Chain A
């Protein structure tokens, strides 16, 4: 069955597909690493938050992260895994995160998705399910890259409905400004042109949301 799924994958996507497996259990990490590699993916591995983020910073071709939420030093809680998701979304690293975890499913799934995870798989998941999820993640990632080339930016918002439209608008504004500034390497002129607003407005948003070149 896994081989059939494998066949269904777009060869061009898969051959170039780079995945990062973040898992603290050595045996499971190796198994996932080898299984994905045998399917033609280029796989990187990390066993904690910092090394995962370092790898993502150094390998911008990585499109998909398979993440265990229970990472050291707090293997038995979801805190560290959620921190990884939070940091990836805060730093706007363009990857799709698939959470593969054994932690308290429903609560963890909700939190992970709220923080920006693309998909959630509960351990033990079949390799077929993992492949399907990876395949979908690659597809979405490639579509977003294509959309981005056409000037379309996808934003993920996690504001509560009860906070009202103002909160939604502000979160969207902040994310958009941060993303465009990052894409343009903090070039104010280009960012203003891309967003169709004045340069003064960019400075206004930077001040309003506390955005600076250093912390981004």
Chain B
């Protein structure tokens, strides 16, 4: 037995050394992964920049080479570093207007190196995929904003054009005997035109008087919006005003009540019976909105998720946007959902 001791010591030491080495390698790979993540953050998740600058970290991780070819919104770019032949890991990404093929070349090494390299490669590919979706999300959001601005311009500029056209025609061709009335009419209309033009300019430059803390009659807007959706509603609580831009307030109420309206249309089992309770809490107004005849919400966790909609017609951004507006004003918008009870929205807005 004693003769075996040296062998046992050698075997035990070898196991310890191997385990230590594996742990060291694993830790090194984690640090290199973190380095890649930090690089990606520093580059603001920009995919082309990341592909151009990731090679030093990958080389440090033990990769032999990198090559990529990218179709970036119609423009083809490519790059390569290190040795680009031999064993490789290849991934292809094809998302809307972006296509990317990326190859990572491996050294001829032992299985443990290959195992660690493939784990790191997975992290790298994950970062690439994330950058793709971040870019597409940003593009989509910009288009949403542009679409909103276009709709605004379409409505307001066409009104302005209509007004100018009518004014010019009236001045060019006044009704005989009505000249004094025309001048009187202009006195009334021109200040309103000035106000409208200022409003447009302020909205375009994001300096709307609306952005100032103007107060709005919450009860009236709630009633008006419920009527618009033809929702039978009861408003309890004293008349109150809230301070936030009117457009944002309208958007919040429209999205909450619109949600109840769509739910009611979907089920059509019972007529909706919307109850709205207003309660003053220090400097805030708490608004609790529920449809007593409504069905329980099946996807409570999805309510405020952007681009998720259970209705085919929606873009899935309404409630998300409503929540953003409420938080921007210093308030909040939450939903309470319990099994077998109708959904309750709780909105807090500055009074």
Contact = CB atoms under 8 A, between A and B. Distances in A.
A124 B254 contact: no
Contacts of A104: 154
A215 B106 CA distance: 77
B181 to A, nearest CB: 6
Contacts of A39: 175
Contacts of A216: none
Given A28-B163, A31-B167, A34-B189, A123 B158 contact: yes
Contacts of A38: 170, 175, 178, 181-182, 185
A83 interface: yes
Contacts of B266: none
A34 B161 CA distance: 17
Contact of A125 (B162, B189, B193): B162
Contact of A34 (B162, B185, B195): B185
Interface in B155-177: 155, 157-159, 161-167, 169-170, 173, 175-176
Size bin of chain A's contact surface: 35 or more
Interface in A10-62: 25-28, 30-32, 34-35, 37-39, 48-50
A171 B233 CA distance: 30
B335 to A, nearest CB: 22
A38 B227 CA distance: 35
B332 interface: no
Nearest to B190: A27
Interface in B176-223: 176, 178, 181-182, 185, 188-189, 192-193, 195-196, 221
A25 B159 contact: yes
B171 to A, nearest CB: 11
Contacts of A185: none
Contacts of A37: 181
Interface in A74-98: 74-77, 79-80, 83
B119 interface: no
A80 B228 contact: yes
A2 B173 contact: yes
Nearest to B176: A3
Contacts, number: 106
Of the four ranges (under 10, 10 to 19, 20 to 34, 35 or more), the interface on chain B belongs to 35 or more
B163 A31 contact: yes
Given A2-B169, A32-B166, A83 B196 contact: no
Contacts of B155: 70, 75-76, 102-103
B169 A126 contact: yes
A102 B152 CA distance: 11
Contact of B165 (A1, A73, A124): A124
Contact of B161 (A70, A103, A124): A124
A3 B159 contact: no
B151 interface: yes
B250 interface: yes
A1 B228 contact: no
A27 B148 CA distance: 23
A31 B250 contact: no
B6 to A, nearest CB: 86
B224 A73 contact: yes
B29 interface: no
Contact of A127 (B151, B169, B188, B221): B169
Given A2-B173, A3-B176, A30 B161 contact: no
Interface of A: 1-3, 6, 25-28, 30-32, 34-35, 37-39, 48-50, 70, 72-77, 79-80, 83, 100, 102-104, 123-128
Given A3-B176, A27-B189, 8 more contacts: A2-B175, A26-B195, A27-B159, A31-B170, A32-B166, A48-B224, A76-B151, A76-B154
15 contacts: A3-B173, A26-B192, A26-B196, A28-B159, A31-B167, A31-B189, A35-B170, A39-B175, A48-B224, A49-B227, A76-B151, A76-B152, A102-B154, A102-B159, A123-B161
- Sort A-B residue pairs by CB-CB distance and give the 8 closest, nearest first: A102-B158, A27-B192, A34-B185, A124-B161, A124-B162, A123-B158, A123-B162, A124-B165
